[in-house]
Amino acid sequence: MSDSGSTAEDHGAAARGKRPSPWQPGALFHATRRYPRRSRAGRVDRLAGILRHGLRAPADCPDGSVCSDLSIRVTGMAVSYDSLVFLHRFGAESAIYTIGEPGRFFVFVNPALPVLTPGDLGANWPILCQDEVYVRDRVPPEHLTCVVVHPDDAESVVAEFRADFRRLGIPLLDHDGNIVWEPA
């Protein structure tokens, strides 16, 4: 961690080393990339938007700031697919979704947050992942519990978003479980 702009609070966090892994059975998380891969999506910083506004469903973002890297169209359902925030509930089926690479990050959400399962959405609801669950419209930032980034991204993310992590009172970990920053 760079000393530029760091505080005693930051140095104390770094000295603590590791904390319990957020990858616990039942943990709710959202996996994404910092910038969209689709060229027509524009260069929107997803991490900045999530830290400021929480996780938002695509329909809640007419400005296009929430745009999936996938092109999914679901029709004929009682609930509009784009009105849901897609989360994973960590379990044995989640391993493929937890692979870390530069630019990819994970946002953990309070596991007590009520979620919808594919079964709640009807027998014909398309299942994309074995561990998927949903929240309607948005997950407010006060329900975020942790952000995990690739070790190569850790220093730049804490330098850029330290004030947001402090405001939210949530830690930043690298994918290896090392504390990058956490509130005192």
SS3 content of the chain, % helix, strand, coil (to 5): 30, 25, 45
3 in any annotated domain: no
Does residue 1 lie within any of the structural domains?
Answer: no
Domain that holds residue 26: 8-181
pLDDT tens by residue, 45-95? 889 999 999 999 887 876 656 665 556 677 777 888 888 999 999 998 888
Give the C-alpha separation, 127 to 130, whole Å.
7
Which residue from 170, 144, 157, 141 is spatially nearest to 53, judged by alpha carbons?
141
- b/e string for 42-56 if b means 16 or more Cβ within 10 A? eebebbebbbebbbb
Cβ proximity of 131 and 90 under 8 Å: yes
Residue 32 resides in a domain: yes
Tokens found for residue 56 = 């938002």
For the chain, what is the domain count? Answer: 1
pLDDT band of 177, cuts 50, 70, 90: confident
Q: Which pLDDT value is given to residue 60?
A: 80
Which residues make Cβ contacts (< 8 Å) with residue 7, sequence separation at least 6? Answer: none
